[in-house]
A = this chain, B = another copy of it.
Amino acid sequence: MPILVQKFGGTSVANAEKIRRAAQKAIDATKKGYQVVVVASARGHQTDHLVADAMELNPNPPKREMDQLLSTGEQQTVSLFAMALDAMGHKAISFTGFQVGMITDSTHTKARIKSIDAKRIHKELKDGKIVIVAGFQGIDENDNITTLGRGGSDTTAVALAAAVGAEVCEIFTDVNGIYTTDPRIYTKAAKMKEISYDEMLELASLGAGVMHSRSIEFGKKYNVKIHVRSSSEDVEGTYIIGEVPQMEGIAVSGATIQKDMAKISLVGVDNKPGNAAKVFHRLAEAKVVVNDIMQTEVSSDKANLAFTIGASDLRAAKEAIENIKDEVKCDSIFTRDDIAEVSAVGVGMRSHYGIAEKMFSALAKAKVNIDSITTSEIRISCVVDKNQAEQALIAVCDAFDLDKPAEKRAKKK
């Protein structure tokens, strides 16, 4: 019998009624002939409440104890989920991270999965039970409870799907799939039928926010078919999969916007080996997450070095840079906190020419000024004025026909 993994987030299990609705989905899947493994998050705002309880006692709680505390949220959900299934007449059993041998490293609050022992799960599935596993949590080699950090339950679900050899890993969420861009800005945005892991990674890290990038990396590594779908509507969502031939037919699959960005430019840095490393080492020490880095030579021994960060990190980043300014012989520092980044993403870019030019023209036609540009193999990003951000996104979407799903655009050509 094929195995299906179903993941329900906190809002999908927030109360008894929602737990019953989620349990019904699991039962429906068994009726379609699947063995079902459910992964569940903590109910609604449970985790927030626990964090508040901790903060009341210790504003800087030891991470091991934080994991010990927070992991109870998911444990409560899975036992309640099993009770709901039992009441609905279906055999079920719940498991915590340690009970399914979800071994992680010891990096508390953002541990990485090392291995999963799927034996017990297979045994219970064979016994006709729906197996419910607590998301977000694992255990290290010394029996300490760990948690996987943001988006951890998605990672649990995808990792379990890989470990048990599931046909599909369904991620139930409050959107009905992944769109070519943010429909709140570009109302004509089209739902995608499929998207590749690599594209989803670019979109996720750029803030599309449906799934955390670590779970997608896991999916890519173990080739797990991920189905992002609505927990309230019974319609097909979007499949995240390896690349498929027709994807090559379209250059741009989606576009995103990141607001609340800031940019720091170091002008006239001494261009010698190690200087850039020094700068980013200081930023890492200051716990600043750097998005994009741009460097250009301005003379044989001088370069301009710029990078974008979240606006909330600007103060810390600036302080760190001021401290190293003299050491790297930087002439002056410019900062901007009124910028946004518009990106077009698509695996098709690898085999298509003229994509960058098309994007720049679209922005020019919309009278959007481009501050700076970075690219990856499957992404082009332009830093623009914050107050032109939405019109920039709309221009890019129009240019690449993002009002139509990819399969329609592919046929057109």
Q: Which residues of A contact B (CB under 8 A)?
A: 16, 19-20, 50, 53-54, 56-62, 64-66, 68-69, 71-72, 75-76, 78-80, 82-84, 86-87, 93-94, 96, 98-99, 120, 143-145
How far is it, in angstroms, between the C-alpha of A69 and the C-alpha of B134 when the chains are bound? 12
Q: Which of B57, B58, B68, B78 contacts A94 (CB 8 A)?
A: B68
Stoichiometry, as copies per complex, reads 2
16 residue pairs from A and B, CB less than 8 Å apart: A16-B57, A19-B57, A50-B76, A54-B80, A61-B83, A61-B86, A65-B79, A65-B86, A65-B93, A68-B75, A68-B78, A68-B96, A69-B75, A69-B76, A72-B72, A98-B143
Minimum distance in angstroms from A153 CB to a CB of chain B:
17
Q: Do A79 and B68 touch (CB < 8 A)? A: yes
Q: Do A87 and B69 touch (CB < 8 A)? A: no
Minimum distance in angstroms from A186 CB to a CB of chain B:
41
Q: Do A72 and B76 touch (CB < 8 A)? A: yes
Q: Do B53 and A80 touch (CB < 8 A)? A: yes
Minimum distance in angstroms from A314 CB to a CB of chain B:
31
List of 8 A-B pairs having minimum Cβ-Cβ separation, nearest first: A72-B72, A69-B79, A58-B87, A68-B79, A58-B83, A61-B83, A16-B56, A65-B79
Of A57, A62, A66, chain B has the most CB atoms within 10 Å of the CB of A57
Interface of A is mostly: helix
Which residues on B sit within 8 Å (CB–CB) of A56? 16
How far is it, in angstroms, between the C-alpha of A65 and the C-alpha of B20 when the chains are bound? 16
Q: Do B86 and A58 touch (CB < 8 A)? A: yes
Of A71, A82, A84, A87, chain B has the most CB atoms within 10 Å of the CB of A82
How far is it, in angstroms, between the C-alpha of A352 and the C-alpha of B84 when the chains are bound? 59
Q: Do B82 and A62 touch (CB < 8 A)? A: yes
Having A65-B86, A98-B98, one finds 13 other A-B pairs with CB under 8 Å, namely: A19-B57, A50-B76, A58-B83, A61-B83, A62-B86, A64-B93, A65-B82, A66-B79, A68-B82, A71-B75, A72-B75, A72-B76, A120-B143
Which residues on B sit within 8 Å (CB–CB) of A143? 98-99, 120
Please give me the residue from chain B that is nearest to A70 by CB atom: B79
Which residues on B sit within 8 Å (CB–CB) of A16? 53, 56-57
Minimum distance in angstroms from A165 CB to a CB of chain B:
22
Known A57-B20, A86-B58; judge A69-B80 contact (CB<8 A): yes
Q: Do A83 and B57 touch (CB < 8 A)? A: yes
Please give me the residue from chain B that is nearest to A64 by CB atom: B93
Known A72-B75, A76-B69; judge A83-B54 contact (CB<8 A): yes
Which residues on B sit within 8 Å (CB–CB) of A72? 72, 75-76
Please give me the residue from chain B that is nearest to A67 by CB atom: B79
Which residues on B sit within 8 Å (CB–CB) of A93? 64-65
Q: Which of B62, B96, B98 contacts A83 (CB 8 A)?
A: B62
Which residues on B sit within 8 Å (CB–CB) of A80? 53-54, 57, 65, 69
